[in-house]
């Protein structure tokens, strides 16, 4: 049994069905999905190659190694936060 305020980690699923791990107390204090928040890259969703293939095409093949365009977050996305707190 876990109580609110627990320092335990747990797995969560955001409205966009991203699975992520977070400490329970951080979720209670408003922290949400790190992928939707662009704090974590998910290939095929918010990576540079997916969001901006025209820019990824200019990616230097050796100077960025081992990073590839699929390994970096594209930046600000034109999407609403999926984890906004409920409004009264
Ligand atoms: Zn998400």
What DSSP line would sit under 37-76, residue for residue?
TTSS--TTTTBHHHH-HHHHTT--TTTTTT--GGGSB---
* pLDDT of res. 6: 81
For residues 1 and 32, membership in a common domain is answered with: yes
CA distance 51 to 79: 12
* pLDDT of res. 88: 58
pLDDT at 84 over 50: no
For residues 5 and 29, membership in a common domain is answered with: yes
pTM above 0.95, yes or no: no
Domain that holds residue 47: 41-77
For residues 48 and 18, membership in a common domain is answered with: no
Q: Give distance in angstroms: CA of 16 to centre of ligand 1.
A: 5
Q: Give distance in angstroms: CA of 35 to centre of ligand 1.
A: 5
The string of pLDDT tens digits covering residues 68-82 is 999 999 975 444 444
CA distance 67 to 2: 38
Q: Give distance in angstroms: CA of 82 to centre of ligand 1.
A: 6
For residues 29 and 47, membership in a common domain is answered with: no
The string of pLDDT tens digits covering residues 27-52 is 999 999 999 999 999 999 999 999 99
What are the tokens at 71? 């390994």
For residue 36, count CB atoms less than 10 angstroms from its CB and return exposed for 0-12, middle for 13-18, buried for 19 or more.
buried
For residues 33 and 13, membership in a common domain is answered with: yes
For residues 45 and 33, membership in a common domain is answered with: no
Beta bridge partners of 11: 21
Share of the chain above pLDDT 70, in %: 80
């Amino acid at each position: 049994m876990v109580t609110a305020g627990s320092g335990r980690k747990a797995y969560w699923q955001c409205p966009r069905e991203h699975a992520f791990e977070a400490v329970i107390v951080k979720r209670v204090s408003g922290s949400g999905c790190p992928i939707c928040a662009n704090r974590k890259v998910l290939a095929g969703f918010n990576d540079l190659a997916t969001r901006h293939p025209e820019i990824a095409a200019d990616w230097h093949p050796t100077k960025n190694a081992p990073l590839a365009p699929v390994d970096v977050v594209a930046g600000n996305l034109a999407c609403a936060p999926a984890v906004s707190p409920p409004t009264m």
